[in-house]
């Protein structure tokens, strides 16, 4: 019996995945890693230091950057990213998601956010949707980032719900692994290949409605 929803933020609620890509691409070009659509897809949902590690490993230079050099690159990326999102407005919610949140609230579902991003609180405030959520899981409080199940488990815990009572929504393959590993029902939004393990798949946030999800409700 589904009682709650756990939302990823970047690429699900907020149209911010594109800004992460722009900022990470600058870092990739600085260190000399070729930017490909595959790398862009694989970076989705991965936390800040994990993303940097993937960029360095992909370029075959993980050994050339010590912790201090990595922290400098990660800070540079975040400064560039913060610049890109500084003017975010309620219009930067992805199409249909504000309506979906209102629909869920009216139907009495509880909602939480399971984002790898330390910028989640800022963005949710800028979009004007913070009142919908009982809690935003602090990504620093979980032992391991996506694809580990910890963050989506925590997103059910903060709602006082069992994982089987929660549906998780994600635009990244790592996020779908996290939801599935937590024992929740997974809704993928986006690329069919990257999200092939999702229980339900939508091509766009516009298609995400309670009726469309209920058509695939767990029995
Ligand atoms: P934060 C971000 C990562 O930097 C980014 O690469 C991920 O795509 C994003 O989290 C996932 O939502 O974390 O740098 O904003 O803390
Ligand atoms: Mg995402």
Q: What is the pLDDT of residues 194-203, one digit of tens each?
A: 999 999 999 9
Going by alpha carbons, the residue nearest to atom 10 of ligand 1 is 117
Going by alpha carbons, the residue nearest to atom 13 of ligand 1 is 117
pLDDT at 217 over 80: no
At residue 25 the predicted structure's pLDDT band, cuts being 50, 70 and 90, is very high
pLDDT number for residue 67? 95
Task: Kindly list the distances between the CA atom of residue 124 and the CA atoms of 60, 78, 127, 135, 150, in Å, as whole numbers in the listed order.
Answer: 36, 17, 5, 11, 21
To the query of whether residue 8 is one of the catalytic residues in this protein, the response is: yes
Whether omega before 78 lies within 30 degrees of 0, making that bond cis, reads no
Angle at 177 between CA 65 and CA 173, to 5 degrees: 65
Q: What is the pLDDT of residues 119-148, one digit of tens each?
A: 999 999 999 999 999 999 999 999 999 999
Residue 43 CA to ligand 2 center (angstroms) comes to 10
Point out the ligand nearest to the CA of residue 12: 2
* Integer Cα distance of 185 and 164 in angstroms: 7
Task: Kindly list the distances between the CA atom of residue 85 and the CA atoms of 18, 161, 201, in Å, as whole numbers in the listed order.
Answer: 10, 33, 28
pLDDT number for residue 219? 54
Mean per-residue pLDDT of the chain: 96
To the query of whether residue 92 is one of the catalytic residues in this protein, the response is: no
Q: What is the pLDDT of residues 37-78, one digit of tens each?
A: 999 999 999 999 999 999 999 999 999 999 999 999 999 999
Beta partners for residue 186, in sequence order: 168
The set of protein residues with a Cβ atom below 6 angstroms from ligand 1 is: 10, 20, 24, 43-48, 51, 78, 115-119
Point out the ligand nearest to the CA of residue 73: 1
pLDDT at 218 over 70: no
ipTM comes to 0.97
């Amino acid at each position: 019996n589904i009682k709650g929803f756990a939302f990823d933020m970047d690429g699900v609620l907020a149209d911010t995945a594109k800004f992460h890509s722009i900022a990470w691409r600058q870092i990739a070009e600085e260190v000399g890693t070729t930017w490909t659509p595959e790398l862009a897809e694989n970076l989705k949902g991965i936390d800040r230091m994990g993303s940097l590690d993937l960029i360095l490993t992909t370029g075959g230079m993980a050994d050339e950057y010590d912790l201090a050099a990595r922290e400098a690159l990660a800070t540079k990326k975040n400064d560039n990213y913060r610049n890109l999102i500084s003017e975010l407005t309620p219009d930067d919610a992805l199409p249909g998601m504000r309506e979906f949140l209102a629909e869920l609230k009216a139907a009495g579902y509880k909602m939480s956010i399971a984002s790898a991003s330390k910028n989640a609180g800022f963005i949710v405030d800028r979009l004007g949707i913070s009142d919908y959520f009982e809690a935003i899981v602090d990504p620093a409080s979980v032992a391991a980032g996506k694809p580990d199940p910890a963050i989506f488990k925590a997103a059910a815990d903060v709602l006082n719900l069992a994982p089987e009572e929660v549906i998780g929504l994600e635009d990244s393959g790592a996020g779908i692994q996290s939801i599935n590993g937590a024992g929740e029902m997974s809704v993928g939004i986006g690329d069919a290949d990257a999200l092939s393990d999702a229980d339900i798949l939508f091509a766009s946030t516009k298609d995400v409605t309670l009726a469309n999800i209920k058509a695939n409700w767990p029995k």
